[in-house]
């Protein structure tokens, strides 16, 4: 009986050694995969596609809450319909679409990652408003 337990122990230990050898390098492989996902190597074309898709999807998502029939109203929305501006060194974007103005704050770079904004502000410009006329400046009373 004692010999039986010795053989079981030897077989168990060799099985454990074999199992642990099969998994060596898993931590290193995980780290490489994580680095690849966090720091993608994208071409300029891929960055442009990501950026355009993220902004169009953001505008579509924001405006879908404002229209009675958003699929109909926004079906022809294209990136070319948008005016965009990004202050240097930020993930903040100012976007204009028709009479709507948006400020979007993205949690990550929208050129690199597929994302939606973490913060959004939308303003609708009233018909006929001339933003250059100083309409809200106080008049001096004499």
- Percentage of the chain lying above the pLDDT 90 cut: 55
Three-class DSSP labels, 80-105 = HHCEEECCCCCCEEEEEECCEEEEEE
Q: Does pTM surpass 0.85?
A: no
d(CA 109, CA 17): 45
- 51 with 111: CB under 8 angstroms? yes
State yes or no: pLDDT of 28 exceeds 80. Answer: yes
The 10s digit of each residue's pLDDT in 86-96 is 999 999 999 99
d(CA 130, CA 41): 44
Give the confidence band of 71 by pLDDT, cuts at 50, 70, 90.
Answer: confident
State yes or no: pLDDT of 49 exceeds 90. Answer: yes
End-to-end, the C-alpha distance of the chain in Å comes to 114
Q: In the predicted model, what is the mean pLDDT of residues 112-119?
A: 94
- 131 with 101: CB under 8 angstroms? no
Q: Report the pLDDT value the prediction gives residue 36, as an integer from 0 to 100.
A: 84
Q: In the predicted model, what is the mean pLDDT of residues 72-87?
A: 93
Give the confidence band of 24 by pLDDT, cuts at 50, 70, 90.
Answer: confident
Mean pLDDT of the chain: 84
């Amino acid at each position: 009986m004692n010999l039986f337990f010795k053989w079981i122990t030897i077989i168990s230990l060799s099985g454990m050694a074999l199992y642990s050898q099969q998994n060596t390098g898993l931590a290193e492989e995980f780290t490489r995969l994580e680095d690849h996902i966090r720091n993608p190597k994208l071409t300029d074309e891929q960055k442009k596609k990501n950026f355009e898709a993220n902004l169009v999807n953001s505008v579509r998502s924001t405006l879908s809450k404002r229209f009675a029939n958003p699929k109909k109203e926004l079906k022809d929305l294209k990136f070319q319909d948008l005016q965009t501006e990004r202050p240097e060194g930020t993930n903040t974007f100012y976007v204009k679409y028709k009479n709507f103005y948006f400020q979007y704050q993205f949690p990550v770079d929208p050129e690199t990652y597929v994302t939606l904004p973490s913060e959004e502000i939308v303003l609708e410009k009233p018909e006929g408003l001339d933003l250059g006329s100083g309409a809200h400046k106080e008049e001096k009373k004499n």
